[in-house]
Amino acid sequence: MRRQITDEDIRAFLRKNWVNYPSQIALMQETIRLLWPGGAPTNGHERVVRLCLEEITYRPSA
């Protein structure tokens, strides 16, 4: 059985890969694709979007 992906796992991926993608949409799509190769579980997409928006809100400007 595969390990459960936590919100912290998603946040860590977003923070580590933020600069590698041209848009927030591309980042969210790649996060979902890489964390859940077989497809995201129920509410998986919503979790990624919510956490990405939280990171944008609390992320200091570059």
**For the chain, domain boundaries:** 7-58
Q: What is the pLDDT of residue 7?
A: 95
CA distance 18 to 41: 23
Give the C-alpha distances (Å, rounded to integers) separating 29 from 11, 12, 48, 62: 14, 15, 9, 23
- One pLDDT digit (tens) per residue for the chain, 62 residues: 567 899 999 999 999 998 999 999 999 999 999 999 988 888 999 999 999 999 888 776 55
Q: What is the pLDDT of residue 26?
A: 95
pTM for the full predicted model: 0.81
Q: State the CB neighbour count (10 A cutoff) for residue 52.
A: 19
Q: What is the pLDDT of residue 44?
A: 92
In contact, 55 and 13? CB cutoff 8 Å: no
Per-residue tokens: 50: 């919510």
